[in-house]
Amino acid sequence: MVDTFTQKCTRCGEGYPRRKMVGACQKCGGIIKISYDYSEVGKTLDKKKIRGRPFNLWRYSELLPLSSAENVITLGEGGTPLIRSERFASKLGLRNLYFKDEAMLPTGSLKDRCATVSISKAKEAAVKSVVISSSGNAAASMSAYSARAGIRCLVFVPSSAVPSKLLQVTTYGGKVIKVNGTTGNSVKLAADATRKFGWPNVSTAAVYNPYALEGQKTSAYEMVEQLDWKTPDWLVIPVGSGNNLAGHWAGFSDFDELGFTNRRPKIAAVQAAGCAPFTEAVEKGSKPSEVQAWENPETIAGGVRDEFPYDVELALPALRESKGVAVNVTDSEIIETMKGLGADEGIYSEPTGAVAAAGLKHLVASRTIDKDELIVVMVTGSGLKDPGSLSRHFPEPPVIDADINHATKYLA
Ligand SMILES: *Cc1c(COP(=O)(O)O)cnc(C)c1O
């Protein structure tokens, strides 16, 4: 926790004091970029020092936008496993495949990285209430961390949100309001609430909240460490808003700037075929300003059902700079992949959590990815988040009397 960062608008250059919690630029509405003085950071942070600290997200505190350690709100987040794939990989003919299992974070999804940084910043700025729009996971994360910080968390979700996720939010003390229509409507309401009441908008997109991305990037730091300071050849990642993609790119870039690594991965973005504005933008070669909202978004993967990729301004240039690609997957491919992750690897994923892994098949079939390349695939949310999603896809288990002869029939 050293004051190695600045908060500045990417559009007009307006700067903000370190202790202030900023959303979008108050002057022009531009995205706030948090930058680090790498030569200062390098004075206290090196590979050996990092390794000597507890394996959680705050071990990278010199690269996080907080002024004092006493404001950290933590549930032990970070340090998620990087699991080497055996059976799932060999079915695809891949030799160097890993899953970064973000389902292992405290509330069961990657959004805890966003929440620990955002809510710690809110504590530092003495904020009393925050507001968020979310399909459920970010709301659960923000509510949990807000509970620990004694901050009120108001949540707008699309009415299609999964009930089990809303129950999680409510249990953490978050106040849930369902909004009719698509994600865009709840996104609009959260922004309106910030304008009207002044509560910071902690939605996990840099256009509203620059701290979410600062949390996301730590997963990139972790995987580099877990690969013994090697950068993967490919990062395969699901895209909704694109915040997660942009965050990882920032993380790989930080480690390059610090001299811990000397290259960045190619990024494969994966979207659901029923809601794929980002893939379309990549394929068409669109500028961020030309990207259109998707009409009638429809997919089982609620966490990426964003009709508009809110962080397209950051995510699209990042993907292009990485020389990456974007592919789509169908709902039935997502379901097959959830089963495969479970039965082949012991990983229980929610539909959105399996989107990236589902994209692998396409990337291998098109020979975009080479079988010997080092690949990290993000698993972003736990199956426990949305336990009903597979119920129609497995047969009911048999019910028998307590007699081994009955059991034998089924065990053969
Ligand atoms: C939010 C979310 C994503 C998508 O991340 P973006 O930053 O919106 O692109 C992926 N998986 C899960 C489980 C999520 O909750």
Q: Tell me the C-alpha distance between 256 and 369, whole Å.
A: 23
Is 238:276 a contact under the CB 8 Å cutoff?
no
Ligand 1 binding pocket mutation candidate from 100, 109, 275 (most atoms within 8 A of CB): 109
Note the pLDDT of residue 236: 98
Note the pLDDT of residue 410: 87
CB crowding 63-81: b at 16 or more within 10 Å, else e = bbbbbeeebbbbbebbbbb
Is 21:125 a contact under the CB 8 Å cutoff?
yes
Q: Tell me the C-alpha distance between 278 and 292, whole Å.
A: 9
Note the pLDDT of residue 1: 60
Q: Which atom of ligand 1 is nearest to the CA of 381?
A: 13
Task: Dig out the tokens for 234 from the structure.
Answer: 């490919």
- Residue 383: C-alpha distances to residues 162, 245, 281 (Å): 12, 22, 30
Note the pLDDT of residue 4: 87
**Residue 95 class from Cβ within 10 Å (0-12 exposed, 13-18 middle, 19+ buried)?**
middle
Note the pLDDT of residue 3: 80
Segments of 229-302 assigned E as strands: 234-238, 266-272
- State the pTM of this model: 0.97
- What's the CATH fold of domain 82-108+212-391? Rossmann fold (3.40.50)
- 114 alpha carbon to ligand 1 midpoint, in Å? 11
Q: Which residue puts its alpha carbon closest to atom 13 of ligand 1?
A: 381
Residues of the chain with pLDDT under 70: 1-2
Q: Name residue 133's beta-bridge partners.
A: 156
Note the pLDDT of residue 412: 76
**Cα angle value 321/325/327 (rounded, 5°):** 150
CA trace torsion 395, 165, 245, 304 (10° rounding): 60
Ligand 1 pocket, CB under 6 A: 109-111, 137, 204, 238-244, 303-304, 352-353, 380-381
Q: Per-domain residue ranges for the chain?
A: 82-108+212-391
Note the pLDDT of residue 198: 96
